[in-house]
């Protein structure tokens, strides 16, 4: 038997599909994938634009071994991971609360939606500035409010302390991105079949029991998706810290993207900066893969 040839209609459809996709694929190949590969290639060279006479020499993984023993880099990496874990955890809890509330809200739904959408939609730079100014002085509103909760805390110069400077950073990030988390979870909540919940209520299950055993498991896919988006986003944090503390005091709030940026465009160490940004990429990429694995059983169960 001769293998059946593909029908001409199918071939035409494939041809049309590639035709329609070519502009996007070409654009992404030239402006995104190409540059990524080039960055990886560049990271294998010693290339310092401030010292052009040294040229560009191949040093293999030299930049990576330098990064491994670079205390400033390790510190920035720890900051980034700490920032990501802290903010995403807070955002998940707060976002879930907010989503449950928005779901239960009967009146003022539109108003509440606008209120939470605004911080999300504003430029990060603006959010960073607001929170910086709200902590910049003993009489600044957030500092005063915190003093009211924890008496004596207004003596703290929030932005000057290597640890305390993280408070406005984390608050600003939570303020800006919890709404996104809440909206994703709200969409998940609204997609849940209510009959199960109603049946459990009739059987006498408490609100907490129903939440733990019915709502939460059914919400798992939405939670995982929200976690993926937020984690990947938090790992590349840049503008927020750049504007809020500039990485300071000293380098005590510096994150990896900022250190890579500084190495690249201020110190003009292109090889080393490229290596740092490749590391940022690899961490994000492997996390994304891990999350997708987590999502697979959920998919199959559907």
Partner 1 sequence: MNALIKRVAMTALLVFWALPLCWMVLASLRPESALYATTATATAGFGGNHYRALFAERRFWQPMLNSIVVASSTTLLALVVAVPCAYAMARLQFRGKRALMAVVLAISTFPQVSIVPSLFLILRALGLIDTIPGLVLPYLTFATPLAVWLMAGFFRELPPDLEEAARLDGASRLRAAVEVALPLAAPAVATTAILTFLYAWNEFLFALSFTVSPDRQTVPVAIALLQGRYQVPWGQILAAAVTASVPVAVVVLAFQRRIVKGLTAGAVKG
The nearer residue to partner 1, 82 or 141, going by C-beta atoms, is 141
Q: In the bound complex, what is the minimum distance in angstroms from residue 110's beta carbon to partner 1?
A: 7
Q: In the bound complex, what is the minimum distance in angstroms from residue 80's beta carbon to partner 1?
A: 10
Residue 150 has φ and ψ, to the nearest 5°, of -115, 95
What span, in angstroms and rounded, lies between the C-alpha atoms of 228 and 234? 10
Q: In the bound complex, what is the minimum distance in angstroms from residue 174's beta carbon to partner 1?
A: 9
Q: Which two tokens stand for residue 62?
A: 């030299």
| 3-state DSSP assignment of residue 77 | helix
Q: In the bound complex, what is the minimum distance in angstroms from residue 246's beta carbon to partner 1?
A: 10
How many residues in the chain?
302
Per-residue burial over 249-287, b if 16 or more Cβ lie within 10 Å, else e, is: eebbbbbbbbbbbbbbeeeebbbbbbbbbbbbeebbeeb
The nearer residue to partner 1, 1 or 9, going by C-beta atoms, is 9
The nearer residue to partner 1, 20 or 71, going by C-beta atoms, is 20
Task: Find, among 142, 144, 148, 135, the residue nearest to 244 by Cα.
Answer: 135
Q: In the bound complex, what is the minimum distance in angstroms from residue 123's beta carbon to partner 1?
A: 4
The nearer residue to partner 1, 73 or 242, going by C-beta atoms, is 242
The nearer residue to partner 1, 165 or 263, going by C-beta atoms, is 263
Q: In the bound complex, what is the minimum distance in angstroms from residue 280's beta carbon to partner 1?
A: 5
Q: What are all long-range contacts of 40-43, with beta carbons under 8 Å and residues at least 24 apart?
A: 40/274, 40/278, 42/270, 42/271, 42/274, 43/271, 43/274, 43/275, 43/277, 43/278
Residues 6+ apart with CB under 8 A from 63: 43, 44, 45, 46, 271, 272, 274, 275
The nearer residue to partner 1, 167 or 278, going by C-beta atoms, is 278
């Amino acid at each position: 038997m001769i293998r059946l040839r593909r029908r001409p209609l199918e071939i035409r459809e494939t041809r049309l599909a590639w035709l329609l996709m070519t502009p996007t694929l070409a654009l992404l190949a030239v402006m995104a994938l190409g540059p990524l590969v080039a960055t990886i290639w560049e990271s294998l060279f010693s290339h310092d634009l401030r010292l052009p006479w040294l040229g560009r020499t191949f040093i293999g993984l030299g930049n990576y071994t330098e990064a491994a023993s670079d205390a400033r880099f390790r510190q920035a990496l720890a900051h980034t991971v700490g920032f990501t874990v802290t903010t995403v955890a807070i955002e998940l809890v707060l976002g879930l609360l907010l989503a449950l509330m928005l779901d239960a809200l009967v009146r003022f739904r539109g108003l509440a939606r606008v209120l939470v959408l605004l911080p999300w939609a504003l430029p990060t730079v603006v959010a960073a500035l607001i929170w910086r100014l709200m902590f910049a002085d003993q009489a600044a509103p957030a500092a005063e409010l915190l003093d009211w909760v924890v008496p004596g805390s207004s003596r703290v110069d929030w932005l000057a302390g290597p640890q305390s400077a993280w408070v406005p950073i984390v608050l600003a990030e939570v303020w800006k991105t919890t709404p996104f988390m809440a909206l994703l979870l709200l969409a998940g909540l609204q997609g849940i079949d209510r009959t199960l919940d109603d049946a459990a209520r009739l059987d006498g299950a408490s609100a907490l029991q129903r939440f733990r055993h019915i709502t939460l498991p059914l919400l798992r896919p939405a939670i995982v998706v929200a976690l993926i988006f937020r984690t990947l986003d938090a790992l590349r944090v840049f503008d927020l810290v750049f504007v809020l503390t500039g990485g300071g005091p000293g380098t005590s709030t510096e994150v990896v993207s900022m250190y890579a940026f500084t190495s690249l465009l201020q110190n003009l160490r292109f090889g080393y900066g490229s290596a740092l940004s490749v590391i940022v990429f690899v961490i994000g990429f492997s996390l994304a893969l891990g999350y997708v694995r987590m999502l697979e059983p959920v998919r199959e169960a559907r």
